[in-house]
């Protein structure tokens, strides 16, 4: 099996003018930003050039009213086995995490050489279910960190999108609109795509091969360069935390300057910020994996499961065990 899908035969003029139909398959607890991004781009494309239409159907393995992770509801048609396949398939994963319910549909699309895009959680769940994979795959950077803690995924990358035989695993989230525009560029003229990008108030539609900005330490738009460098050092050393002096040295500043930067821009000390980063990673591992709490503690730089639990409860108001059960109510 090669890593690139074969190119379909050139379409006839009548084929070029027919509506392109998207299936957007959503799971319970889906990401509302991803669903809204797909539909918004398609709606805008139809408004800009009425002669060429894009249609879409929202489906789900659990049809009817499907709830997002933020309580937004969408009415979904049933996704029935491998029937009623469309031109393109987008899978918007969610907290349900049941890739076995939609994987046959993905495989049927792949067999027909029709593009499939698995967004964030769907990409993560596909990678876990289909491993080992010989071709490149990606997921949102937070999920990629979780995957590397729980298994061996040598082909996992930090790219925004990876194409493995027609199945595109994607970072998703805010990049979703750009993915759809890039996909439409296979049908539309460069000028039209530029108009569409502008109408969406996007500066550009990035390609698939760019790397994800993984963490606050990769984004200098809001934080100064030295603070960004310090945060990046922390993000790269979750399992083996560094001393404040070592972080300051890596950032090329004194400890006093480092502390002043954190207090000025993020209203906390470097030590507290670093602990919070490690606890956020611990919470994700508790929620998304079956690692023991001792394994999570070690992966996040805590000396024991008790030390993790105490810090976790101070930060989030609940224990790691409650986070794993999905209980977000503060413990008493």
**Residues paired with residue 68 on neighbouring β-strands, in sequence order:** 30
Q: What percent of the chain has pLDDT over 90?
A: 64
Residues 83-93, mean pLDDT to the nearest whole number: 96
37-46, 116-125, 215-224, 232-241: least confident range? 215-224
Question: What local confidence, expressed as pLDDT, does residue 218 receive?
Answer: 62
DSSP letter for 57, please.
Answer: E
Is the confidence at residue 9, as pLDDT, over 80? Answer: no
Question: What local confidence, expressed as pLDDT, does residue 242 receive?
Answer: 95
Residue 196: burial class (beta carbons within 10 Å; 0-12, 13-18, 19+): buried
Tally of CA atoms within 13 A in the half-sphere of 39 that contains its CB: 13
The backbone torsions φ and ψ at residue 300, rounded to the nearest 5 degrees and listed phi first, read -110, 15
Question: Residue 139 and residue 119: Cα distance in Å, rounded?
Answer: 8
The backbone torsions φ and ψ at residue 168, rounded to the nearest 5 degrees and listed phi first, read -95, 110
- One DSSP character per residue, 120-155 reads THHHHHHHHHH-S-SS-EE--HHHHHHHHHHS--TT
List % helix, strand, coil for the chain (3-state, nearest 5): 45, 15, 40
166: region left, alpha or beta (phi > 0 left; psi from -120 to 50 alpha): left
Is residue 211 helix, strand or coil?
Answer: strand
**Residues paired with residue 211 on neighbouring β-strands, in sequence order:** 159
Give, rounded to a whole angstrom, the gap between the first and last alpha carbons of the chain.
54
Residues 254-264, mean pLDDT to the nearest whole number: 93
Question: What local confidence, expressed as pLDDT, does residue 27 receive?
Answer: 95
Question: What local confidence, expressed as pLDDT, does residue 11 receive?
Answer: 47
Return the residue matching tokens 């491998």.
82
14-28, 267-281, 296-310: least confident range? 14-28
Residue 47: CB partners within 8 Å, gap ≥ 6? 199
The backbone torsions φ and ψ at residue 225, rounded to the nearest 5 degrees and listed phi first, read -60, -40
User: Which band of pLDDT confidence, cut at 50, 70 and 90, is reported for residue 17?
Assistant: low
Question: What local confidence, expressed as pLDDT, does residue 269 receive?
Answer: 95
How far from 304 is each of 42, 151, 297, 300, CA to CA, in Å? 50, 22, 6, 10
DSSP letter for 64, please.
Answer: E
pTM of the predicted model over 0.85: no
């Amino acid at each position: 099996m090669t890593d690139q899908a074969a190119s379909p035969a050139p379409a006839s003029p009548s084929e070029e003018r027919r509506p392109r139909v998207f299936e957007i398959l959503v799971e319970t607890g889906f990401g509302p930003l991803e669903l809204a991004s797909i539909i918004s781009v398609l709606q805008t494309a139809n408004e800009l050039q009425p002669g060429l239409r894009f249609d879409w159907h929202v489906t789900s393995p659990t049809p009817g009213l499907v709830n997002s992770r933020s309580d937004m509801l969408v009415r979904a048609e049933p996704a029935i086995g491998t029937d009623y396949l469309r031109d393109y398939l987008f899978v918007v994963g969610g907290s349900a995490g049941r890739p076995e319910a939609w994987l046959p549909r993905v495989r049927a699309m792949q067999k027909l050489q029709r593009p499939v895009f698995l967004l964030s959680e769907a990409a993560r769940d596909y990678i876990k279910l289909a491993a080992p994979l010989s071709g490149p795959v990606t997921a949102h950077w937070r999920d990629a960190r979780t995957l590397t803690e729980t298994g061996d995924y040598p082909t996992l990358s930090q790219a925004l999108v990876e194409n493995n035989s027609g199945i595109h695993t994607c970072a998703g989230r805010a990049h979703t609109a750009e993915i759809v525009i890039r996909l439409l560029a296979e049908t539309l003229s460069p000028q039209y795509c530029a108009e569409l990008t502008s109408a969406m108030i996007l500066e550009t539609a990035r390609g698939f091969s760019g790397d994800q900005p993984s963490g606050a330490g990769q984004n200098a738009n809001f934080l100064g360069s030295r603070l960004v460098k310090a945060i990046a050092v922390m993000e790269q050393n979750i399992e083996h935390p560094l001393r404040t002096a070592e972080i300051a040295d890596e950032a090329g500043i004194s400890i006093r300057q480092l502390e002043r930067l954190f207090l000025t821009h993020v209203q906390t000390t470097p030590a507290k910020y670093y602990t919070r980063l490690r606890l956020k990673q611990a919470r994700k591992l508790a929620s998304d994996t079956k690692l023991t709490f001792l394994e999570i503690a070690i992966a996040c730089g805590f000396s024991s499961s008790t030390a993790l639990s105490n810090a976790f409860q101070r930060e989030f108001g609940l224990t790691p065990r409650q986070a794993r059960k999905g209980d977000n109510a503060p413990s008493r």
